[in-house]
């Protein structure tokens, strides 16, 4: 046992007043009680801890001072296979492949990881690894193999800006604010194809089977700046249904002039369309779905909602509950794809 001098006792008392960690304060008190002449059994009884705890506190202080009394951090990765930096280097090659459009699956990643560390591991280790480095599972961004990248770049640099400038002049002439919306329609449906099921030995279930396809079309328009949106469930992707959607948009945002950005589908530029007075249509370059943020909402619905709720059971209230979440996700993906 090392006896403290008066200066050390004063520092212990100041530390006791200054520190907020309860465990550290209790250990400092154990040392101060020793300096007051108390024995270890008496200190254990006064502080409500075991004799071995008092002994460890005294030994820690004698060997390392007040800092040795601080509680050691708990938690963390105590049995890590790689350091964080080694994991980053390991994932770097896969990040290049993901950025190039290659589809990565857990099996390939797990095999490479096991080869790196030299022993088998579980799928959960790989999932934890990906989560630790900010990876997430999401729908790939689609692009048409026949796209014209020069036309897309020209549209992003100049074409869209020109469309907005023209629409802003029209809106100013009418004394209305301009609202920019991106619109699209998507098909959701089902096919009643039989699936494997469990059955005892000697039993093969029999089910009625007829190949039936059921589809609906969900029309949507969203503003990536504030998430304002409008959606309609319609039976087809034709000029008549798009006209209904246009009229609904014009009515919903009747106080604004709308710049509605759409793709070049036939029902979007049909000569039979009657464009409402507060709507101006603008067209994306051909084969360019990746330029339309509305596509992100379809991805979100397919990933999150349509798997659990078949389209024939969609209701207005159900879709209304989805949309704030979907549009929030879409605006996040627009700013951070």
In this structure, the answer to whether residues 45 and 127 fall within a common structural domain is: no
Average pLDDT over residues 229-233: 90
* Domain final position from 38, 69, 100: 69
Number of domains comprising the chain: 3
The reported pLDDT for the residue numbered 336 is 46
Angle at 249 between CA 311 and CA 286, to 5 degrees: 75
Q: Which of 173, 167, 154 is nearest to 281 (CA)?
A: 167
In this structure, the answer to whether residues 300 and 232 fall within a common structural domain is: yes
Identify the band that residue 65 occupies on the pLDDT scale cut at 50, 70 and 90: confident
Name the pairing type of β-strands 178-191 and 257-262.
parallel
**Cβ pair 117, 80 in contact under 8 A:** no
| 75 pLDDT above the threshold of 80 | no
Q: Is residue 271 part of a domain?
A: yes
In this structure, the answer to whether residues 122 and 175 fall within a common structural domain is: no
Predicted TM-score of the model (pTM): 0.61
In this structure, the answer to whether residues 124 and 65 fall within a common structural domain is: no
Q: Is residue 306 part of a domain?
A: yes
Average pLDDT over residues 215-230: 89
Average pLDDT over residues 200-221: 79
Most confident of 202-206, 271-275, 301-305: 271-275
Measured CA to CA, the distance from residue 158 to residue 181 in angstroms comes to 18
In this structure, the answer to whether residues 100 and 158 fall within a common structural domain is: no
In this structure, the answer to whether residues 97 and 171 fall within a common structural domain is: no
**Arithmetic mean of pLDDT over the chain:** 84
Q: Is residue 78 part of a domain?
A: no
In this structure, the answer to whether residues 166 and 287 fall within a common structural domain is: yes
Identify the band that residue 176 occupies on the pLDDT scale cut at 50, 70 and 90: very high
In this structure, the answer to whether residues 23 and 170 fall within a common structural domain is: no
Identify the band that residue 79 occupies on the pLDDT scale cut at 50, 70 and 90: confident
The reported pLDDT for the residue numbered 21 is 86
Q: Is residue 98 part of a domain?
A: yes
Q: Is residue 143 part of a domain?
A: no
* Domain final position from 24, 40, 69: 69
Q: How do residues 136-162 score in pLDDT, each as one tens digit?
A: 877 677 688 889 999 999 999 999 999
Measured CA to CA, the distance from residue 119 to residue 115 in angstroms comes to 7
**Host domain of residue 127:** 84-132
Q: Is residue 48 part of a domain?
A: yes
In this structure, the answer to whether residues 128 and 48 fall within a common structural domain is: no
Q: What is the largest CA-CA distance in the chain?
A: 100
Q: How do residues 304-324 score in pLDDT, each as one tens digit?
A: 766 656 666 665 555 555 555
| 47 pLDDT above the threshold of 90 | no
Q: Is residue 224 part of a domain?
A: yes
* Domain final position from 25, 46, 69: 69
In this structure, the answer to whether residues 62 and 105 fall within a common structural domain is: no
Measured CA to CA, the distance from residue 308 to residue 323 in angstroms comes to 16
In this structure, the answer to whether residues 231 and 102 fall within a common structural domain is: no
Q: Which residue has the higher pLDDT, 125 or 191?
A: 125
In this structure, the answer to whether residues 267 and 217 fall within a common structural domain is: yes
Residue 266's contacts (CB-CB under 8 Å, 6 or more residues apart) are 239
| 337 pLDDT above the threshold of 60 | no
Residue 33's contacts (CB-CB under 8 Å, 6 or more residues apart) are 42, 43, 46, 47
Q: Is residue 100 part of a domain?
A: yes
The reported pLDDT for the residue numbered 121 is 92
What CATH number did the domain enclosing 176 receive?
A: 3.30.420.10
């Amino acid at each position: 046992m090392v006896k403290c001098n008066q200066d050390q006792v004063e520092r212990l008392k100041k530390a006791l007043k200054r520190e907020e960690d309860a465990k550290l304060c209790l250990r400092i008190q154990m040392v101060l009680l020793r300096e007051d002449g108390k024995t270890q059994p008496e200190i254990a009884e006064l502080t409500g801890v075991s004799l071995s705890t008092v002994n460890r506190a005294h030994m820690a202080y004698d060997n390392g001072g007040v800092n040795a009394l601080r509680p050691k951090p708990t938690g963390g990765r105590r049995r890590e296979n790689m350091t964080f930096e080694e994991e980053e280097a390991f994932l770097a090659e896969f990040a290049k492949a993901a950025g190039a459009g290659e589809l990565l699956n857990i099996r390939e990643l797990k095999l490479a990881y096991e080869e790196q560390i030299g022993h088998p591991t579980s799928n959960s280790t790989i999932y934890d690894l990906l989560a630790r480095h900010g990876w997430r599972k999401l729908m790939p961004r689609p692009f048409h193999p026949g796209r014209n990248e020069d036309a897309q770049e020209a549209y992003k640099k100049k074409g869209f800006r020109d469309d907005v400038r023209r629409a802003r002049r029209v809106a100013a002439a009418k004394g209305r604010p301009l609202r920019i919306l991106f619109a699209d329609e998507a098909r959701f449906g089902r096919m009643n194809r039989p699936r494997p099921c469990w059955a005892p030995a000697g039993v093969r279930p029999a089910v009625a089977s007829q190949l039936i396809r059921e589809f609906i079309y969900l029309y949507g328009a969203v503003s990536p700046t504030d998430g304002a949106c409008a959606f309609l469930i319609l039976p087809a992707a034709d000029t008549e249904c798009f006209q209904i959607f246009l009229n609904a948009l014009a009515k919903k945002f009747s106080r604004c002039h709308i710049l509605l950005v759409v793709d070049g589908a036939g029902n979007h530029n049909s000569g039979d369309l009657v464009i409402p007075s507060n709507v101006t249509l603008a067209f994306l370059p051909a084969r360019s779905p990746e330029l339309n943020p509305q596509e992100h909402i379809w991805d979100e619905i397919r990933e999150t909602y349509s798997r659990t709720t078949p389209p024939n059971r969609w209701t207005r209230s159900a879709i209304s509950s989805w949309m704030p979440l979907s549009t929030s996700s879409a605006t996040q993906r627009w700013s951070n794809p």
